[in-house]
Structure 1
Amino acid sequence: MPAFAIDGRDFVINGKKQQIISGAIHYFRIVPEYWKDRLLKLKACGFNTVETYFAWNIHEPKPGQFNFSGIADVVRFIEIAAEVGLHVIARPSPYICAEWEFGGLPAWLLAEDGMKLRCHYQPFLDRVDAYYDVLMPLLVPLLHTNGGPIIAMQVENEYGSYGNDKAYLAYLRDGLIKRGIDVLLFTSDGPEDHMLQGGSLPGTLATANFGSNPENAFAKLSEYEPDGPLMCMEYWNGWFDHWGEEHHVRGYDDVADVLDRILKSGASVNFYMFQGGTNFGFYNGANFFTSYEPTVTSYDYNALLSESGDITDKYLAIRDVIAKHADIPEGILPEPIAKKGYGAIQLTQQASLFSQLEAISKPVKSAYPQTMEKLGQDYGFVLYTTRVSGPRPLSKVTVQEVRDRALVYFGGSYQGVIERNKHDLTIEIAEGDIAVETPAEGAALSLLVENMGRINYGWKMHDPKGITEGVRIERQFLYDWTMHPLPLDDLSGIVYSELEANAPAQQEPTFYKGSFHVDEPADTFLNMSGWTKGVVFVNGFNLGRYWEIGPQVTLYVPAPLLLEGENEIVIFELHGMKTPQVTLQDQPDLG
Structure 2
Amino acid sequence: MVVLRIRNVHKRKCVLIFCFSVAVVITYRYLGMPRGGQRISRKIGLSANSSQFTMEGKPFRILGGSIHYFRVPRAYWRDRLMKMKACGINTLTTYVPWSLHQPQRGVFNFHTQLDLEAYINLAAELGLWVILRPGPYISSELDLGGLPSWLLQDGDMRVRTTYPGFTEAVNIFFDKLIPKVVPLQFKKGGPIIAVQVENEYGSFAKDDTYMPFIKEALQSRGISELLLTSDNHNTLKSGGVDGDVVSTVREILRRGMSINLYMFHGGSSFGFISGGLAEPSYKALVPSYDYDAPLSEAGEYTQKYHLLRDLFSQFNRGEGFPDLPVLQHKEAYEPAIMYQHLSLWDALSFTEGPFKSDMPLNMENLPMNNKNGQSHGYTLYETTITSGGVLTSGDNVKDRALVFVNKSYIGLFKRRNLELAVPDGKGQRTLSLLVENCGRVHQGRNLDKQRKGLVGDILLNNIPLREFTIYSLEMKPNFIYKFVDFKRTIHFVLQNNSLESNVFALVFTRLLGKCFLKLPVSLLFSWASSLYMAIPVIHLLNCQVGIKVLCLSTGSTWDATGPLDPSRLSTSPVHFSTGVSTRSLCSRSKKVTTRSVLRTRQILAWQLTFSDSHHLLYFLYAVCLLLF
Shared fold, TM over 0.5: yes
Check whether the contact 1:360–1:491 (CA below 8 A) recurs between aligned residues. Answer: no
Secondary structure at the residue paired with 1:189?
coil
The structure whose residues are more often strand, as a share, is: 1
CA distance in 2, matches of 1:408, 1:30: 37
Q: Indicate the residue corresponding to 2:157 in structure 1.
A: 115
CA distance in 1, matches of 2:278, 2:461: 28
| Aligned residue type for 1:404 | D
Check whether the contact 1:43–1:329 (CA below 8 A) recurs between aligned residues. Answer: no
Check whether the contact 2:348–2:471 (CA below 8 A) recurs between aligned residues. Answer: yes
Check whether the contact 2:392–2:462 (CA below 8 A) recurs between aligned residues. Answer: no
Check whether the contact 1:90–1:153 (CA below 8 A) recurs between aligned residues. Answer: yes
The structure whose residues are more often helix, as a share, is: 2
CA distance in 2, matches of 1:308, 1:459: 34
Secondary structure at the residue paired with 2:209?
helix
My pick for the range that moved more, 405-414 or 479-488, is 405-414
Q: Indicate the residue corresponding to 1:82 in structure 2.
A: 124
CA distance in 2, matches of 1:398, 1:407: 12
CA distance in 1, matches of 2:166, 2:148: 11
Give me the identity figure in percent: 38
* Residue 113 of structure 2, aligned match among 71, 86, 90: 71
Secondary structure at the residue paired with 1:459?
coil
Q: Check if 1:494 corresponds to 2:483.
A: yes
CA distance in 1, matches of 2:206, 2:230: 13
CA distance in 2, matches of 1:178, 1:156: 16
Q: Check if 1:348 corresponds to 2:373.
A: no
Matches within 5 A, 1:102-501: 102-192=144-234, 195-196=235-236, 212-213=241-242, 254-327=244-317, 329-375=320-366, 376-390=373-387, 392=388, 394-419=389-414, 421-429=415-423, 437-439=424-426, 441-462=427-448, 463-489=450-476, 490-494=479-483
| Aligned residue type for 2:406 | G
TM-score for both structures, normalised by structure 1: 0.71
Secondary structure at the residue paired with 2:335?
strand
- Offset at residue 513 of structure 1 (A): 12
My pick for the range that moved more, 11-20 or 306-315, is 11-20
Check whether the contact 1:399–1:467 (CA below 8 A) recurs between aligned residues. Answer: no
CA distance in 2, matches of 1:459, 1:499: 56
My pick for the range that moved more, 140-149 or 317-326, is 317-326
Aligned-residue Cα RMSD (Å) equals: 2.3
Q: Indicate the residue corresponding to 1:588 in structure 2.
A: none
CA distance in 1, matches of 2:289, 2:261: 15
CA distance in 1, matches of 2:267, 2:95: 13
- Offset at residue 209 of structure 1 (A): 8.6
- Offset at residue 290 of structure 1 (A): 2.4
Change in 2 beyond 3 A, CA 1:307/1:499: farther
**Where does structure 1 lack aligned partners over 5 or more consecutive residues?**
198-207, 214-252, 430-436, 501-511, 516-591
- Offset at residue 425 of structure 1 (A): 3.1
Check whether the contact 1:398–1:473 (CA below 8 A) recurs between aligned residues. Answer: no
Change in 2 beyond 3 A, CA 1:307/1:513: farther
Secondary structure at the residue paired with 2:178?
helix
Change in 2 beyond 3 A, CA 1:50/1:370: same
Matches within 5 A, 1:20-31: 20-31=62-73
CA distance in 2, matches of 1:256, 1:313: 11
**Where does structure 2 lack aligned partners over 5 or more consecutive residues?**
1-42, 367-372, 492-506, 511-628
Check whether the contact 1:380–1:450 (CA below 8 A) recurs between aligned residues. Answer: yes
* Residue 94 of structure 1, aligned match among 136, 151, 157: 136
| Aligned residue type for 1:23 | G
- Offset at residue 438 of structure 1 (A): 3.5
| Aligned residue type for 1:340 | E
Secondary structure at the residue paired with 2:337?
strand
Check whether the contact 1:378–1:487 (CA below 8 A) recurs between aligned residues. Answer: yes
Secondary structure at the residue paired with 1:349?
coil
Check whether the contact 1:402–1:468 (CA below 8 A) recurs between aligned residues. Answer: yes
- Offset at residue 497 of structure 1 (A): 9.8
Check whether the contact 1:350–1:497 (CA below 8 A) recurs between aligned residues. Answer: no
Check whether the contact 1:382–1:485 (CA below 8 A) recurs between aligned residues. Answer: yes
- Offset at residue 448 of structure 1 (A): 0.5
Secondary structure at the residue paired with 1:385?
strand
Change in 2 beyond 3 A, CA 1:399/1:499: farther
For residues 171-191 of structure 1, the C-alpha deviation after alignment (integer angstroms, 9 at most, x for no partner) is 100111111101000111123
- Offset at residue 348 of structure 1 (A): 0.7
Q: Indicate the residue corresponding to 1:537 in structure 2.
A: none
CA distance in 2, matches of 1:20, 1:64: 37
Secondary structure at the residue paired with 1:445?
strand
CA distance in 2, matches of 1:292, 1:460: 12
CA distance in 1, matches of 2:128, 2:483: 46
CA distance in 1, matches of 2:186, 2:48: 14
| Aligned residue type for 2:420 | T
- Offset at residue 402 of structure 1 (A): 1.1
Q: Indicate the residue corresponding to 2:86 in structure 1.
A: 44
Secondary structure at the residue paired with 1:273?
strand
For residues 33-91 of structure 1, the C-alpha deviation after alignment (integer angstroms, 9 at most, x for no partner) is 11111111111101110100000011101011110011111111100000000110000
For residues 371-418 of structure 1, the C-alpha deviation after alignment (integer angstroms, 9 at most, x for no partner) is 11101111111000001123x4x4233254111111110232101211
Secondary structure at the residue paired with 1:373?
helix
Change in 2 beyond 3 A, CA 1:30/1:150: same
How many pairs does the alignment contain? 441
CA distance in 2, matches of 1:109, 1:365: 23
Change in 2 beyond 3 A, CA 1:351/1:497: farther
Secondary structure at the residue paired with 1:319?
helix
CA distance in 2, matches of 1:451, 1:4: 43
Check whether the contact 1:349–1:513 (CA below 8 A) recurs between aligned residues. Answer: no
| Aligned residue type for 1:491 | I
Check whether the contact 1:400–1:467 (CA below 8 A) recurs between aligned residues. Answer: no
| Aligned residue type for 2:481 | S
CA distance in 2, matches of 1:426, 1:127: 41
Check whether the contact 1:398–1:471 (CA below 8 A) recurs between aligned residues. Answer: yes
- Offset at residue 10 of structure 1 (A): 2.0
- Offset at residue 443 of structure 1 (A): 1.8
Check whether the contact 1:349–1:499 (CA below 8 A) recurs between aligned residues. Answer: no
* Residue 19 of structure 1, aligned match among 45, 61, 64: 61
For residues 282-302 of structure 1, the C-alpha deviation after alignment (integer angstroms, 9 at most, x for no partner) is 111111112111111111111
For residues 258-312 of structure 1, the C-alpha deviation after alignment (integer angstroms, 9 at most, x for no partner) is 1111111121111000000001111111111121111111111111101111111
CA distance in 1, matches of 2:239, 2:67: 16
- Offset at residue 166 of structure 1 (A): 2.2
CA distance in 2, matches of 1:47, 1:400: 47
CA distance in 2, matches of 1:497, 1:254: 53
CA distance in 2, matches of 1:314, 1:65: 41
Change in 2 beyond 3 A, CA 1:191/1:300: closer
Change in 2 beyond 3 A, CA 1:493/1:181: closer
Check whether the contact 1:345–1:514 (CA below 8 A) recurs between aligned residues. Answer: no
Matches within 5 A, 1:479-558: 479-489=466-476, 490-494=479-483
